[in-house]
Amino acid sequence: MIAIESLAHTYPTGQQIHFADATFTDNENWLILGDSGSGKSTLLNIMTGLLSPTSGKVILNQTDLYKLGNKLDRFRAQYMGIVFQKPYFIQSLTVSENLKLTQSLAGLKTNNHRILEVLEGLALADKKTSYTKDLSVGQLQRLSIARAILNRPAIIFADEPTASLDDRNTERVLELLINQAGKEKADLIVATHDKRVKDAITNIYLVNGGSQ
């Protein structure tokens, strides 16, 4: 369960964004919908502890995210999986080395069995010793999903995961995200302005970006 309370953010430009209170309950998939520039990425960044809100709270289960101080990074690595808009990996590391890093950031020991299991689930097992620079866009997208589910997070966040994909791949990526979240019993929160995503996920949180 993740709840947001009285959240607002003001950028240095003076732009203010307010977010309606919500509780994203367990075992549910959610869409964060809104036009481009409405504040979807801002909200995801705040909910994942990457951007401190100007006011308000984010509570994951019993934990107030912004009271964690220097424990926040490890907390994120343990409980959250994030699929960013643009996949980024360490280019000089292989696929499995990148995933070992994800385990290490969460304070976990290397678990090669788990890495292989996740890579197999996303049809990437044959790429485990490849460098990420040698992967196709589609493979990188699947690797992003692999990384997001690796540590069995409580919540998976995805920011515009289908924005640059054609219809067929949009369907495929959504199916993967929904299946993997279901398999790991993680909640899934997807931010998008992509109308094609609407049918796949029923719960909707609207961001309107209205400055006040």
CA-to-CA separations, 207 to 27, 34, 50, 53, 121, in angstroms, rounded: 22, 5, 18, 15, 33
Confirm or reject binding of residue 210 to ligand ADP (CB under 6 A).
no
Residue 79 CB neighbour total at 10 angstroms: 21
Q: Per CB under 6 A, does 87 bind ligand ADP?
A: no
Question: Binding to Mg ion by residue 41, rule CB under 5 A?
Answer: yes
Tell me the C-alpha to C-alpha distance, in Å, between residue 51 and each of 57, 121, 144, 192.
12, 32, 21, 19
CA neighbor of 97 nearest in space, from 118, 128, 73, 139: 128
How near is the Cβ of 29 to ligand ADP at its closest, in Å? 19
Which one of 6, 11, 61, 71 is in contact with ligand ADP (CB under 6 A)? 11
Site membership for Mg ion, residue 45 (CB under 5 A)? no
Contact segment (CB under 6 A) with ligand ADP among 23-31, 32-40, 148-156, 178-186 equals: 32-40
| 88 is an interface residue for ligand ADP by CB under 6 A | no
Total residues at interface with ligand ADP (CB under 6 A) = 12
Sole window of 7-15, 101-109, 116-124, 130-138 interacting with ligand ADP (rule: CB under 6 A): 7-15
